[in-house]
């Protein structure tokens, strides 16, 4: 008995002096409910520690070592992991939408999460679901198109895939970030019905159906308030009405205030807590409000397992970046996204048994246009350009005559070291003003892409500037085009004279200066560059005078039986930070196509782009047109297999291709006023607008041809279910995207002529028939009633339309 008493006394003394350190703290107990663990940890934090959690530390949340709270590591972007070197470069968001294959997108989400974990990151800063309202919008390629229903279905499956792997998905940009022009401050004036019916459904579906863990607020304002401090968006809609339990973070540098931001719904300021920190948050802010924000951040951390050793200490599988599975998935998405826009005289697929020569022409033939520019661009570990893929698949069977024709901005190679007399002096400043004492370095070329990393160890990764000074010697005489590609601001001085001044924040963009140089003469060059935040790159290149690539392309077409032109845009034309100036193909590509058509009657145009382009100058002169988007690392193989008939194209347009910009809903209001834009088109965006005003598009939403034919028939309605037969009547296996549209015939408000409410991608062998079933009525009929501030359903007649596109309706009935 005495021994037992002695042991008990020793035990209690031990507990008293050790603070019970051997005890398993509740927040570290994975058997407890997540909310219970969150509350336990929250109760152990000091107010100072809680406030510290409200601001990031670059691409991480703040670590609190005292309590074992690890940093939550984030990374861009939506189509591949943009962190610490190369990764798999998957097809762009618009490519994913063009597949109309939700199960494929869920597989993509899983693969993306696997690569995120392999980089040691916990949060992927994707997906982007902003509606394509303006056809030349700089980030249209990142999103899923113009329709809220299609966008929602893609978003839900993307998120489910990512979060299955204990990685947090981030849906962005909340909300109405539909243009890059003045995106940092433009005030979007929009009515409540349009906001809820067109621009918010994908966010709502992400929260309520997919359980997305993070939402990123946009840069712009909506109805007078910045999105990072917008009470209607962040508090009333997102948190109160939709019941969102995760964290709301700002876009990088999108916070403009302390009190409005902290009171109106934002939880985490990124990249750092400039406005949300212990020196700016005063006693007027209750600790309970701060608790709620930290609670949301911690809930995400517990959900993805950052406090659980089995998840936290899991060794990253770095083989995923080169795995056959991820490569095959990138190829699958790329080929399923390709849209056959035109196929006169059945020019496609190319019959390799009947021709002996092909001209492969264009600036996008020998280059892999994996994605658009900005924070989503991923440097691929591996990629295949169309020219390389065609050579690999055709071999020596057919002669391929290649000519670039024209050069796109940003494609010039860096000036070689041998042309710099005495090397390059570089002065690095730890500020954006080129002021103070610099760190001096020497280089052989100006060819830098630091991404989100510091230029060198011990130097800041953001908010720095560089001055490069050098002398160059011209190898030949003639007119040179000197290109400076940068992300962000840049200035170029040539022989002491400023010739380029683009001293602004922007994504990677190429500025060009043309001048005549004399052979062996030396010229002084000075490049000044600054980086504000995010990615950093600066490159100096030139294009030498010499052989005319345009004439070489025409000659190649003249000497070939078929000409394939790989044209379009690139990450230097479609990018975060700016909108395209127009819808025309850049760099004289229209003229190139026209001249090729004059010398060859069998012309196929293959478009690389993230959004529509104008085709009026040449569409009637060409027999075949393919849209291959920005198809990721496997762009070349996917395009080649469709061209050669190894795969039957099944992609459908997720956006309307207009005949001209003037036909679009935003034409009258875009850039009409400084710092504000009125969404006067309301709910009539994309195909809704074209249908309302009976405007013929170049190619309608949902459009896409096949190498086979499909027959629709035997439509029946049974209660909540619509069914019909689909038959492949051609001689080749193929997939059809069947689309169900609804029109309200009796309504107290104006309704669109048709709205997409269901779709399925169905693959059939030649001659095969199947029965398609849709159950949809309950989710098809509501509209948002702004007077009642809620969704409303009305009894009445509805027209049900089944089609191959929004303009090609095969079957219809009324209910």
Phi, psi of 127 (to 5 degrees): -115, 165
Give Rg (Cα) of the chain.
Answer: 28
Could you say which of 251, 267, 488, 590 is catalytic?
251
Asked if residues 613 and 669 have their Cβ atoms less than 8 Å apart, the reply is no
Q: Which residue has the tokens 């290649």?
A: 402
d(CA 506, CA 500): 15
> What is the SS3 assignment for 308?
coil
Contact indicator for 366, 410 with CB cutoff of 8 Å: no
**Residue 651 in contact with residue 99, Cβ under 8 Å?**
yes
Pairwise CA distance, residues 378 & 764, whole Å: 35
Name the strand (E) or helix (H) holding 541: strand 536-543
Residue 241 gets which letter from DSSP? I
CATH 2.60.40.10 for domain 708-814, yes or no, is yes
Q: For residue 2, how many other CB atoms are within 10 A of its CB? A: 6
**What pLDDT does residue 780 have?**
60
Q: Phi/psi zone of residue 663: left (φ > 0), alpha (ψ -120 to 50 degrees), beta?
A: alpha
Query: Rounded to the nearest 10 degrees, what angle do helices 148-164 and 201-208 cross at?
Result: 30
Angle at 739 between CA 738 and CA 741, to 5 degrees: 155
Token digits for 742?
């609804």
E strand or H helix at 40, and its extent? helix 34-44
The model's pLDDT over 526-585, given as tens digits with 9 standing for 90+, comes to 999 999 977 788 999 998 887 688 999 999 999 999 999 999 999 989 999 899 999 999
Instruction: Quote the pLDDT of residue 779.
Output: 57
Q: Give exposure, 735-745, as e/b (b: 16+ Cβ within 10 Å).
A: bbbbbbbbbbe
Tokens standing for residue 711? 């027959």
Average pLDDT by stretches of 10, the chain with 815 residues: 43 43 82 97 98 97 97 95 94 98 98 97 97 98 98 98 98 98 97 98 98 98 98 98 98 97 98 96 94 98 95 86 97 98 98 96 97 94 97 95 91 90 95 96 94 88 95 94 92 97 86 93 97 87 85 97 98 93 95 98 98 98 98 98 98 98 98 98 98 98 98 93 97 97 91 96 98 77 90 89 98 92
Return the H-helix or E-strand segment holding 162: helix 148-164
Take residue 37 and report the two structure tokens written for it.
Answer: 């663990």
Which top CATH class is 417-543? mainly beta
pLDDT of residue 680: 98
The domain locations on the chain are 321-410+548-653, 417-543, 708-814
**What element of type H or E holds 16?**
helix 2-18
Question: What letter would DSSP give residue 408?
Answer: -
Is 251 designated active site?
yes
Q: Exposed e or buried b for every residue in 166-182, given b needs 16+ CB within 10 A? A: bbbbbbbbbbbbbbbeb
Token representation of residue 25:
């703290």
At 13 the pLDDT is: 43
Give the pLDDT score at 796.
85
Shortest CA distance to 145 belongs to which of 695, 651, 586?
651
Q: Is 403 exposed, middle or buried (0-12, 13-18, 19+ CB in 10 A)?
A: buried
Cis peptide preceding 173, ω within 30 of 0 = yes
- What's the rounded Cα separation, in Å, for the pair 593 and 595? 6
C-beta atoms surrounding 9 within 10 Å: 10
Sheet holding 225-226, edge to edge: 225-226, 221-222, 187-189, 676-678
CATH superfamily of 321-410+548-653: Glycoside hydrolase family 3 C-terminal domain (3.40.50.1700)
> Could you give phi then psi for residue 281, rounded to 5 degrees?
-85, 115
Residue for token digits 């619509």? 722
34-44 vs 287-303: helix axis angle to the nearest 10? Answer: 130
Count the neighbouring beta carbons within 10 Å of the beta carbon of residue 36.
Answer: 13
């Amino acid at each position: 008995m005495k021994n037992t008493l002695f042991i008990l006394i020793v035990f209690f003394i031990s507990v008293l002096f050790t603070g019970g350190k051997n005890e398993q703290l509740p927040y570290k107990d994975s058997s407890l409910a997540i909310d219970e663990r969150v509350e336990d940890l929250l109760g152990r934090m000091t107010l100072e520690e809680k406030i510290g959690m409200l601001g990031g530390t670059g691409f991480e949340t703040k670590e609190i070592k005292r309590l074992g709270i690890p940093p939550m590591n984030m990374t861009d972007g939506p189509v591949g992991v943009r962190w610490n070197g190369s990764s798999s470069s998957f097809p762009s968001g618009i490519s994913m939408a063009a597949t109309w294959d939700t199960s494929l997108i869920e597989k993509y989400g899983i693969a993306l999460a696997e690569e995120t974990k392999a980089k040691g990151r916990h949060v992927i800063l994707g997906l982007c679901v902003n509606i394509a309202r303006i056809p030349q919008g700089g980030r249209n390629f990142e999103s899923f198109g113009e329709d809220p229903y299609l966008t929602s279905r893609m978003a839900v499956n993307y998120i489910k895939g990512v979060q299955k792997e204990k990685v947090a998905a981030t849906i962005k940009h909340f909300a109405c970030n539909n243009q890059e022009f003045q995106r940092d401050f433009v005030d979007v004036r929009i009515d409540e019905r349009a906001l809820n019916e067109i621009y918010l459904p994908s966010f709502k579906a992400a929260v309520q159906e997919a359980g997305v863990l993070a939402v990123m607020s946009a840069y712009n304002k909506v109805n007078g308030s910045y999105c990072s401090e917008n009470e209607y968006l962040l508090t009333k809609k997102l948190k109160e009405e939709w019941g969102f339990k995760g964290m709301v973070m700002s876009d990088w540098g999108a916070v403009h205030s302390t009190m409005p931001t902290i009171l109106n719904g934002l939880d985490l300021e990124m990249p750092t807590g400039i406005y949300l920190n212990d020196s700016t948050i005063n006693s007027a802010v209750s600790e309970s409000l701060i608790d709620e924000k930290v609670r949301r951040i911690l809930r995400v951390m517990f959900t993805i397992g950052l406090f659980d050793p089995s998840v936290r200490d899991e060794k990253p599988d770095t083989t995923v970046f080169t795995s056959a599975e991820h490569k095959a998935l990138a190829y699958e998405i790329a080929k399923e996204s390709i849209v056959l826009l035109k196929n006169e005289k059945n020019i496609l697929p190319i019959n390799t048994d009947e021709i002996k020569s092909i001209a492969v022409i264009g600036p996008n033939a020998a280059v892999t246009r994996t994605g658009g520019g900005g924070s989503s661009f991923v440097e691929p570990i591996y990629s295949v350009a169309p020219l390389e893929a065609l050579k690999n698949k055709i071999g020596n069977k057919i002669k391929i005559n290649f000519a670039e024709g024209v050069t796109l901005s940003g494609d010039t190679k860096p000036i070689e070291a041998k042309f710099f007399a005495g090397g390059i002096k570089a002065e690095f400043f730890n500020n954006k003003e080129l002021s103070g004492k610099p760190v001096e370095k020497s280089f052989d070329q100006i060819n830098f892409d630091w991404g989100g990393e510091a230029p060198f160890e011990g130097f800041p990764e953001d908010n720095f500037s560089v001055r490069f000074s050098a002398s160059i010697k011209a190898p030949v005489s003639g007119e040179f085009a000197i290109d400076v590609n940068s992300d962000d601001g840049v200035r170029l001085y040539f022989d002491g004279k400023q010739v380029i001044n683009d001293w602004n924040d922007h994504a990677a963009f190429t500025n060009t200066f043309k001048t005549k140089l004399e052979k062996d003469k030396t010229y002084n060059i000075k490049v000044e560059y600054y980086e504000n935040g995010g990615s950093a790159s600066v490159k100096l290149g030139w294009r030498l005078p010499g052989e005319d690539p345009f004439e070489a392309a025409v000659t190649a077409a003249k000497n070939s039986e078929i000409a394939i032109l790989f044209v379009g845009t690139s990450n230097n034309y479609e990018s975060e930070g700016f909108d395209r100036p127009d819808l025309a193909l850049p760099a004289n590509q229209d003229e190139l196509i026209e001249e090729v058509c004059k010398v060859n009657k069998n012309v196929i145009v293959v478009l690389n782009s993230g959004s529509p382009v104008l085709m009026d100058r040449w569409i009637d002169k060409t027999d075949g047109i393919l849209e291959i988007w920005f198809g990721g690392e496997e762009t070349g193989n996917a395009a080649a297999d469709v061209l050669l008939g190894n795969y039957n194209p099944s992609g459908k347009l997720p956006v309307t291709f207009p005949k001209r910009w003037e036909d679009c809903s935003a034409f009258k209001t875009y850039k009409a006023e400084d710092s504000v834009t009125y969404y006067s088109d309301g709910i009539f965006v994309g195909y809704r607008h074209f249908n309302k005003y009976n405007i013929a598009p170049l190619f309608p939403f949902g459009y896409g041809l096949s190498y086979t034919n499909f027959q629709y028939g035997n439509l029946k309605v049974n209660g909540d279910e619509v069914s019909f037969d689909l038959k492949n009547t051609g001689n080749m296996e193929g997939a059809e995207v069947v689309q169900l549209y609804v029109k309200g015939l009796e309504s107290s408000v104006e309704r669109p002529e048709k709205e997409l409410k269901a779709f399925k991608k169905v693959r059939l062998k030649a001659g095969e028939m199947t029965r398609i079933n849709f159950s949809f009525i309950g989710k098809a009929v509501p509209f948002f009633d702004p007077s009642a501030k809620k969704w409303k359903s009305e009894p009445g007649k509805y027209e049900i339309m089944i089609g191959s596109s929004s303009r090609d309706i095969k079957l219809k009935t009324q209910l």
